[in-house]
C-alpha cells in the first residue's frame, strides 16, 4: 500500500487520539482510542471500519484552515480504497476498474448482451418462459463459473486482509456481532442516533442509512429468490416459470423494488455530497457500481412485467448481461466493500471481546 497514504492517516489518527472529541461517533473512534500507536495493519482496519458518514469532519475544530488540516473521512477513504486494490486477486483488475469503472461496466454489459443475443439464436431451449429463448443448461454453464470464480477471488482477498490486520481465529460470536451491526447500519446512526452528515454539513439525516438498508435487504431478497428457484428446480423438480405467488416471485419482486429504491437513493446522495471528503479518484468506479446494481434490479423487474410479450427476447439478454457483469466485477467494484466491512466489524468485535 502507498506509504504516504498510511503515514497521513496515521498522523491524523494520532491527533484524534489526543483530542477524543468524537469518541462516541462510530466504531472507528472507540477502536482508535484503545491504542497508543498504530501499525499499518491498524490503520487499514480503522479505514475499513469507517463508513464515511463525515460527522467527525464537520464537528472537528482542526480542519483547514487550522494548521493540523484534518480530514479524517478522506484520509481513511483513500487508505480503504488502496487496501481493496492491494488485497484483491488479481491486483491489476481492481486497479483497472478503479480508473475506468463506468466505461468497463458499460462495455461489458454491451458485449455480453450482444454475445447472449447471438448465442440465443442457436441455443434456445424450446421450453417455457425464459427457457424458450435460452436453455437452462446454457444459463447454468455461463453463470455458475461467473458466480463461483469471483467468490474464490473474494476469499483470497479476505484472507489477505485478515492476515494484514492481525485477525486471529474466527469465532462465530464475533461474526454474529458483525452481522447485527451491519444489519442495523449502526455506524450510520451518528453519535446521538440522529443520522449522519453525508448530504449536508448542517443537517443530520438518516437517508443514507435507509438507502443502504434498502440496498442490502433488497439484494439479500433477490439472492434468496434465486436460491429458492434453484432448490425448487433441483430438489423438487419444479421448473420455471413460477407463478406470482411462488416463493421466487414473493422474494424477488420486493427485493427488486428495494434494490431500485436503495441504489437510486444512494446515487442521488452521492451526486449531492462533497467529493473532497472521500477518495476522489474512486468516485467514478463507485458510481458505476451503484448504477450497475440499479440496472440489474430495474431490468429484472421490467423483464418480469414483459413476460409473455415479444419484448422478452430483447430484454432477457440485457438483463442477463447486467447480472453477469455484476458477478464478474464484484471482487473489484464497490460491492467488495461489504465483505471488507464485515471482516473489519468481525475483527473489531474480537478486539472488544478480548479486552
Per-run averaged pLDDT (10 residues), the chain, 355 residues? 88 94 87 91 96 89 96 96 91 74 88 85 62 79 91 96 93 95 86 74 84 96 94 89 91 97 95 90 87 95 89 90 94 91 95 84
Cell triple for residue 84?
A: 481493496
* Strand boundaries in the chain, DSSP class E: 196-200, 203-205
Distance CA 292, CA 299 (A): 10
Q: Which of 307, 305, 299 is nearest to 323 (CA)?
A: 299
pLDDT at residue 90, as a whole number: 85
Distance CA 27, CA 50 (A): 8
Number of alpha helices (DSSP H) and beta strands (DSSP E) in the chain:
14, 2
Give per-residue pLDDT as tens, 197-217.
787 776 788 899 999 999 999
pLDDT at residue 50, as a whole number: 94
Q: Residue 60 carries which DSSP code?
A: -
Measured CA distances, 190 to 24, 26, 187, 204 (Å): 8, 7, 7, 8
Q: Output the CA torsion 303→103→153→84 (10° steps).
A: -120
Q: Is there a contact between 60 and 4 (Cβ–Cβ < 8 Å)? A: no
Query: Phi and psi for 280 in degrees, rounded to 5?
Result: -60, -35
pTM: 0.90
Q: Tell me which residue has cell 468481525.
A: 346
* Residues contacting 283, CB < 8 A, separation 6+: 270, 275
Distance CA 20, CA 348 (A): 19
Q: Is there a contact between 348 and 31 (Cβ–Cβ < 8 Å)? A: yes
pLDDT at residue 125, as a whole number: 55
Distance CA 112, CA 75 (A): 37
pLDDT at residue 282, as a whole number: 86
Distance CA 29, CA 140 (A): 46
Q: Residue 313 carries which DSSP code?
A: H
Give the CA angle between residues 214, 103, 278 to the nearest 5°.
55
pLDDT at residue 203, as a whole number: 76
Give per-residue pLDDT as tens, 44-62.
999 999 999 888 898 899 9
Measured CA distances, 267 to 146, 262, 264 (Å): 26, 9, 5
Cell triple for residue 353?
A: 471481546
Mean pLDDT over each residue of the chain, to the nearest integer: 89
Distance CA 39, CA 6 (A): 9
Amino acid at each position: 500500500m502507498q506509504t504516504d497514504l498510511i503515514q497521513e492517516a496515521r498522523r491524523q489518527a494520532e491527533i484524534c487520539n489526543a483530542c477524543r472529541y468524537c469518541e462516541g461517533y462510530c466504531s472507528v473512534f472507540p477502536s482508535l482510542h484503545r491504542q497508543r500507536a498504530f501499525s499499518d495493519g491498524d490503520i487499514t482496519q480503522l479505514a475499513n471500519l469507517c463508513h464515511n458518514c463525515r460527522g467527525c469532519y464537520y464537528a472537528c475544530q482542526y480542519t483547514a484552515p487550522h494548521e493540523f488540516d484534518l480530514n479524517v473521512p478522506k484520509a481513511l477513504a483513500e487508505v480503504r480504497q488502496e487496501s481493496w486494490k492491494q488485497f484483491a486477486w488479481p491486483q491489476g483488475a481492481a486497479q483497472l476498474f478503479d480508473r475506468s469503472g463506468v466505461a468497463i461496466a458499460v462495455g461489458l454489459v454491451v458485449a455480453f448482451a450482444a454475445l447472449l443475443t447471438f448465442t440465443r439464436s442457436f441455443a434456445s431451449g424450446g421450453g417455457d418462459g425464459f427457457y424458450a429463448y435460452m436453455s437452462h443448461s446454457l444459463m447454468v454453464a455461463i453463470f455458475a463459473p461467473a458466480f463461483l470464480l469471483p467468490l474464490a477471488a473474494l476469499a483470497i482477498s479476505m484472507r489477505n486482509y485478515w492476515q494484514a490486520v492481525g485477525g486471529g481465529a474466527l469465532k462465530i460470536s464475533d461474526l454474529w456481532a458483525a452481522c447485527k451491526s451491519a444489519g442495523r447500519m449502526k455506524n450510520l446512526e451518528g453519535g446521538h442516533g440522529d443520522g449522519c452528515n453525508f448530504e449536508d454539513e448542517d443537517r443530520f439525516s438518516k437517508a443514507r442509512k435507509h438507502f443502504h438498508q434498502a440496498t442490502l435487504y433488497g439484494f439479500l431478497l433477490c439472492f434468496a429468490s434465486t436460491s429458492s428457484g434453484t432448490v425448487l428446480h433441483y430438489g423438487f423438480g419444479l421448473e420455471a416459470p413460477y407463478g406470482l405467488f411462488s416463493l421466487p416471485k414473493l422474494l424477488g419482486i420486493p427485493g427488486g423494488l428495494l434494490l431500485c429504491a436503495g441504489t437510486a437513493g444512494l446515487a442521488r446522495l452521492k451526486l449531492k455530497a462533497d467529493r473532497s471528503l472521500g477518495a476522489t479518484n474512486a468516485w467514478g468506479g463507485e458510481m458505476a457500481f451503484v448504477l450497475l446494481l440499479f440496472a440489474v434490479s430495474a431490468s429484472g423487474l421490467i423483464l418480469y412485467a414483459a413476460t409473455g410479450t415479444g419484448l422478452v427476447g430483447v430484454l432477457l439478454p440485457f438483463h442477463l448481461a447486467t447480472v453477469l457483469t455484476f458477478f464478474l466485477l464484484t471482487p473489484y467494484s464497490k460491492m467488495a466493500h461489504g465483505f471488507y466491512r464485515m471482516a473489519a466489524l468481525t475483527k473489531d468485535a474480537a478486539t472488544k471481546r478480548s479486552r
